[in-house]
Homo-oligomer: A and B are copies of this chain.
Amino acid sequence: MERSDFSLSVPGDVCAPAGFRAAGLHCGIKKQKPDLALLYSEEPTTTAAAVFTTNRVQAAPVRYCRELMAGGRARAIVVNSGNANACTGAQGMRDAREMASLAAGALSLEPSEVLVASTGIIGVPLRMEPLREGIPRAARELERTGDAAAEAILTTDRFPKTASARVQVGGGTVTIGGMAKGAGMIHPKMATTLGFLTTDARIGAEGLQRALRTAIDRSFNRITVDGETSTNDSVFLLASGAADAPALEGEEALGRFTEALTGVAERLARMVPLDGEGATRLVRVRVEGARSADEARAGAYRVANSLLVKTALRGGDPNWGRVMAALGDAGIEIEEEKTDIWIDDLPLVRNGLGVSGSVEKGRELLQAEDREEAVDLRIALNLGTGEASVWTCDLGEEYVRINVAYN
């Protein structure tokens, strides 16, 4: 993940960039675990960007933030876990608004400067009492590390997910930080992906939104766990402007910033399919030579979401027949006799036919005990120049067991 022009090895989280403080604590929406996070920018001129779920059923905090984001400004984000405030009707909207007001009051901000995110159970009204006590407490506990916040946004994740990067751009150095929660592998009522990115770059709302959209298209929009889309998925980006660097302007500077932002977003996004019971392998599905980038992406997603491909990967079986059948069902142009498939550097299929002996070699390769790196499943359609990669994971019995048992 190291790139020539920026460093991802900077340890840090949402508080790595200058001007941010964060808090995380238990207020009582969950029984015991941390369930409330607050992220705050000290700079009055902070700009904001966000991308939201494409699900037509949208949780109250998503609806609330969509309206607010028209202005491109925000100073704080208040987040609860344990309850998604989704499918909660008019009461849900009132509750999202009250969450913003509580944070605004505690931070001496306008309510319109506070964004809201929720994750957890669907269809159950949010209990506001714990938040009325917890949000002011979180405001008092703000600190210069995002550790507690990164814990408090989790639902069933096994580990907190943070990343940061520093980039030389436009004659100065700016820092980017982030945290995320995972999705979908375990408790689907809590299957939301939330991402929170911060930077101390000074950058206008329009450029910020463009940079975030590009970064998300290349990261959070390139992962899949089970093909499900949540009612609450959101990624936010706040830019404090507190870095000792000139404002970011012009295509080149914005391009460099976007690339570093993408690096942080990719690092966070790839932690998602790796987290959660049931996932043991990170898998990159790459389609090359499609008629278009859109067809490459559709093909990669179809393979990455195929139950049969994912269970084969879990079993360490390079079952290319399942891959061919999934490709054939992707609604894209494919010519069987032109198709090649590799796992890592091992050719499995050449011109649509199995390569002799490759299944045995592929099995050794996938089942190697010391294997740690992601599996690279590469497909060449040899029809054009479209290409795309999607990150997925294998799928095991735990996924089903937990999703069956969850009530």
A400 interface neighbour in B58, B317, B399, Cβ under 8 Å:
B399
Say yes or no: A314-B226 contact (C-beta < 8 A), given A87-B324, A231-B325, A321-B87.
Answer: no
Whole-angstrom distance from the CB of A21 to the nearest CB of chain B? 34
Q: Does A404 contact B (CB under 8 A)?
A: yes
A interface residue count range (under 10 / 10 to 19 / 20 to 34 / 35 or more): 35 or more
A404 interface neighbour in B123, B227, B397, B404, Cβ under 8 Å:
B397
Complex-state Cα separation, A191 to B403, whole angstroms? 24
Complex-state Cα separation, A89 to B324, whole angstroms? 13
Determine if A231 and B121 form an interchain contact, defined as CB atoms under 8 angstroms apart.
no
Complex-state Cα separation, A311 to B395, whole angstroms? 14
Q: Does A104 contact B (CB under 8 A)?
A: no
Which residues of chain B are within 8 angstroms of A189 by Cβ–Cβ distance? 319, 321-322
Interface residues of A in 269-318 (CB under 8 A from B): 306-308, 311-312, 314-315, 317
Residue in chain B with minimal CB distance to A91: B353
Which of A1-9, A71-79, A193-201, A328-336 sits within the interface? A328-336
Q: Does A354 contact B (CB under 8 A)?
A: yes
Q: How many copies does the complex hold?
A: 2
Determine if A55 and B325 form an interchain contact, defined as CB atoms under 8 angstroms apart.
yes
A67-109 CB mask vs B (1 if < 8 Å, else 0) is 0000000000000000000111100000000000000000000
Whole-angstrom distance from the CB of A327 to the nearest CB of chain B? 7
Complex-state Cα separation, A157 to B345, whole angstroms? 37
Determine if A55 and B328 form an interchain contact, defined as CB atoms under 8 angstroms apart.
yes
Which residues of chain B are within 8 angstroms of A55 by Cβ–Cβ distance? 325, 328-329
Which residues of chain B are within 8 angstroms of A397 by Cβ–Cβ distance? 397, 400-401, 404
Whole-angstrom distance from the CB of A192 to the nearest CB of chain B? 10
**A-B complex: 6 closest residue pairs judged by Cβ atoms:** A57-B328, A122-B321, A311-B403, A55-B328, A56-B328, A315-B404
A contact set with B: CB distance below 8 Å: 54-58, 86-89, 121-124, 188-189, 191, 226-231, 306-308, 311-312, 314-315, 317, 319-322, 324-330, 332-334, 336-337, 349, 351-354, 363, 395-397, 399-401, 403-407
